[in-house]
Amino acid sequence: MSTTEQSHTIGLLCKTNKPVFTEVAERLRDAGHRVRYFHPRSGLSPRQAADMSLIVNKKTLPVALPSLWHARQVGTPLWNNLQATIALSSRLLGLRAVSEAGILTPDVTFEKPPGEYVAKGFNVWDDDPELNGEGDFYQELIPTEPVDFKYYAVNDGEQTRVAGRRVTSKLYGQKRLLGGIQTRPALASSLRQLVERFDLRGVGVDLVEDDDGQFWAVDVNLAAGYRDTALESALTTSIVSRLPDE
């Protein structure tokens, strides 16, 4: 670290076994910063929130929201801003947001529709979506192979990088990596629009591809893992760009 750079303490709301953020934490330490992990289910005390230079709310659960609110009140910046964190914790608002950004989303009902569907809880921290199960709302099941296309966008302070991968759908069993993808320009553009509209630093969107080659967004995730995307450098730069000057 040069003599003109400052050392900051960065609080990371994340489990310690997440490979991407483990590497990001090491990069931050190599740059001279201190990194403290906080388990996402434990929350932070008001004193802890105030003592951080920045809080990376990689995974946000209800228990952490009061701490994040206090951090905002005392001037501790968050990596993803509090308003977006709260708004996009609602699955329905997340779907509306990507729809407004130009990506198709499946129809939603509050009563079980005829045929197959995906049952979901209102909030992202609720149970995992379930095929033909019980939920707070019901999403049309798009006829497709049991594969999800996961798109990730990271705003590093100057540009928004987009990467993606294919994984097996958790609706049908254990998630398994199938490989990287060449991102579609129109989808990447929509993700960049979503990032700009909500002033995000990082976001993931799950999509499926129907038999006609059309993509549909089925989930928005501010707690994305970014695994197998080679976005570690962009994530590190993104976090550093949010650090205060003093």
Give the pLDDT confidence of 192-237 residue by residue, as tens digits.
Answer: 999 999 999 999 999 999 999 999 999 999 989 999 999 999 999 9
What's the whole-number mean pLDDT along residues 12-36?
95
Average pLDDT of the residues of the chain: 93
What's the whole-number mean pLDDT along residues 63-73?
90
Give the rounded percent of residues in the chain with a pLDDT score beyond 90.
82
Tokens at 138, concatenated: 């019901």
Q: Residue 91 pLDDT > 50, yes or no?
A: yes
Q: Residue 141 pLDDT > 70, yes or no?
A: yes
**What does the alpha-carbon distance between residue 33 and residue 10 come to, in Å, rounded to a whole number?**
7
What's the whole-number mean pLDDT along residues 174-190?
94
Give the rounded percent of residues in the chain with a pLDDT score beyond 70.
97
Residue 246's pLDDT band (boundaries 50, 70, 90)? low
Q: Residue 2 pLDDT > 50, yes or no?
A: no
| Per-residue model confidence (pLDDT) at position 173 | 87
Residue 58's pLDDT band (boundaries 50, 70, 90)? confident
